[in-house]
Amino acid sequence: MKIAVEESKPLGMLLIDIDDFKQINDKYGHQVGDQVLRVLARELTTLVKRDSDVCARIGGDEFVVIIDGASMDIAISMGKRLLEKIQSLNTVAMSPSNVCNFTVSIGVNSVLPTEGNSFSKFMNSTDRVLYAAKESGKNTMVVNSMYP
């Protein structure tokens, strides 16, 4: 955030949450849940290619992608690509006859930081749109360009 302020460039953020992750663990077991986390992490790392971008698991089944210099259009494009990718390969095979399907919800935000804006406010703003995505039926993406 500090570098973005100094260089007057935007930051994009994707917050990603695996839909109904507790049900995956309850139905298939924690080993399968762990495999779902690994599949999502692998896809996120293929999406994030630049050293200046950040991809991290921030707890449980929630991940964040911070995109350096990303306008809202770039952040939306990245979110759409991720959603489409997960929808196309959302099966984790436990055996040839037993598979686990999963989906994700994504909150997308972008901001041109100014002095006094905090990363926690940016994160909270993005978190609100992630929850809007989950409330709107999951397996979707919600976008918010308003930064309080």
Where do we find the tokens 């995109």? 67
pLDDT at residue 147 above 60?
no
Average pLDDT, the chain: 87
CA distance 7 to 112: 10
Residues in the chain: 148
**Three-state secondary structure call for residue 65:** strand
pLDDT band at 145 (very low <50, low <70, confident <90, very high): low
Q: What is the pTM of this model?
A: 0.89
pLDDT band at 52 (very low <50, low <70, confident <90, very high): confident
| Contact indicator for 87, 103 with CB cutoff of 8 Å | yes
* Structural domains of the chain sorted by starting position, each given as residue range(s) with its CATH number in brackets: 2-144 (3.30.70.270)
Query: Residues near 99 by Cβ (< 8 Å), separated by ≥ 6?
Result: 91, 92, 93
